[in-house]
Every structure is written in structure tokens, then in C-alpha cells.
A and B are shown apart, each in its own frame.
Chain A
Amino acid sequence: SQQGEEDPQALSIQEGENATMNCSYKTSINNLQWYRQNSGRGLVHLILIRSNEREKHSGRLRVTLDTSKKSSSLLITASRAADTASYFCATDAGGTSYGKLTFGQGTILTVHP
């Protein structure tokens, strides 16, 4: 079963624009992670934010976490055509979950050259 929802389900932008994707979840978490998937196959880890963190940056990526609202957002700045992919948030509940990730439905991002 899915932990939460991502929106939008699909996002289409021009190169150079910023892309923002949102993720909501239902239960308490130890950390939240964002992954990218190209062509429906392997996922690539982008960034991990712990429950006691509010914001994290990695290159052109900025992730925020609001545990009171059970939501997170991923911002990709100055997007490139190569950023075209599906983006998933995944929550780790910690404790006896052993790092098991529960994924959202994903956002399909298309960046037009």
C-alpha cells in the first residue's frame, strides 16, 4: 500500500524553469527520501532528509520537510532536459521497519529543450 500521495502526477516545463513536486504521507517517519527513475527501471537516490531536519540542499535540488503537516517538497532549479524522469518520495518509518521504504505514486517530470 502507498504511504502517501505526490502532486502533481505530471509536470511539464521548459528548460531553465524550476520544478516543484510535493509529497504527503500518513504516518510518523524516521526519514524521507527522494528518488529518480528513468525509463521505468532502476531508481537513483537523490537526497535523504531526517525527521529532525527542515531543509536540505544538494546541487540544484532543495528538499523541505514539514513533519507537522506530514509533507515534503522537492525543488529542482534551472531544470535541464536530462532531468526528465519520474520522481518518487519514499518514507522510512524507522524502528522495526528496518529501513523499509514506502513509496508515493510519483511525479512524471518532462523538461522541454
Chain B
Amino acid sequence: GAGVSQSPSNKVTEKGKDVELRCDPISGHTALYWYRQSLGQGLEFLIYFQGNSAPDKSGLPSDRFSAERTGGSVSTLTIQRTQQEDSAVYLCASSPSSPYEQYFGPGTRLTVT
């Protein structure tokens, strides 16, 4: 079946602009996770959704970052007023429940110039 998909695959934006990153999880997976991978920080947890609610937002780096999930499916990660340190690969993962193995999408490479 279809895996986790993310769009866009690459995004180049100017400092100060807002960006939206999209994640389509595997159908039927109730848990959805966002991670960020950068050279300096490695792989970092950002936020977790169970259904449409986000019980754990502890990894969001600042109030410029927000995420939502609608219909228990698609999720959008929004970064407002982007900064150069936001440049990274943003990875989305889903799982049938929590805790469980996670299925990762291919990621969105964000470059802030």
C-alpha cells in the first residue's frame, strides 16, 4: 500500500517568509509524528498527534512553529517568519498506534536563504 508522503520534497524560501509543510500518513494510522534533521542537531522530535489532538508539543523550537492535523489524517507543519537556522529536513512519520514502529516519509528539505 501507499506509504507516508510529504510535500513539497524541497522548499527554498527567503528569510522572514512563512512556509507550510504537508504530511499524508498511511491510511488508518492514528499516530503521527514530526521530526527535524539537521547537521548540527541530528534527528529531533517536534510534535506528536493522536488523532487530531497533539498531547505532546514539547519539541517545537519556538512559537513560530505550529502544526495541525485534520480528519485524523493529513497534517500541516507551519513555520512563520522563517530563519536560517530553520533550514533542515523535516520528516513525518505515522504508526498504527503508540508506541509502535514508525513509518517515515521521504522528508521535506527546507532551505532558508
> Inside 8 A of A103's CB, which chain B residues have their CB?
35, 42-44
**Taking CB as reference atom, which chain A residue is nearest B48?**
A98
In the complex with contacts A100-B48, A105-B42, A41-B89 CB distance below 8 A: yes
> Inside 8 A of A11's CB, which chain B residues have their CB?
none
Tell me, in angstroms, the Cα distance from A44 to B3 when the chains sit together.
11
Tell me, in angstroms, the Cα distance from A106 to B38 when the chains sit together.
13
A99–B95 contact, CB under 8 A? yes
Q: How many residues of A contact B (CB 8 A)?
A: 28
A43–B56 contact, CB under 8 A? no
Q: What's the minimum C-beta distance from A10 to chain B, rounded to whole angstroms? A: 15
B103–A100 contact, CB under 8 A? no
In the complex with contacts A98-B48, A98-B55, A100-B33, A45-B42 CB distance below 8 A: no
> Inside 8 A of A43's CB, which chain B residues have their CB?
91, 93, 104
> Inside 8 A of B42's CB, which chain A residues have their CB?
2, 103-106
Tell me, in angstroms, the Cα distance from A4 to B42 when the chains sit together.
12
What are the interface flags for A76-93 relative to B under an 8 Å C-beta threshold, 1 for contact and 0 otherwise? 000000000000101010
> Inside 8 A of B4's CB, which chain A residues have their CB?
42
**Taking CB as reference atom, which chain B residue is nearest A35?**
B104
B98–A99 contact, CB under 8 A? yes
15 sampled A-B residue pairs with Cβ under 8 A: A35-B104, A41-B106, A41-B107, A42-B4, A42-B105, A44-B104, A98-B31, A98-B55, A98-B56, A98-B98, A99-B99, A99-B100, A100-B33, A100-B56, A103-B35
Residues of A within 8 A of B (CB): 1-2, 30-31, 33, 35, 40-45, 48, 88, 90, 92, 94, 96-106
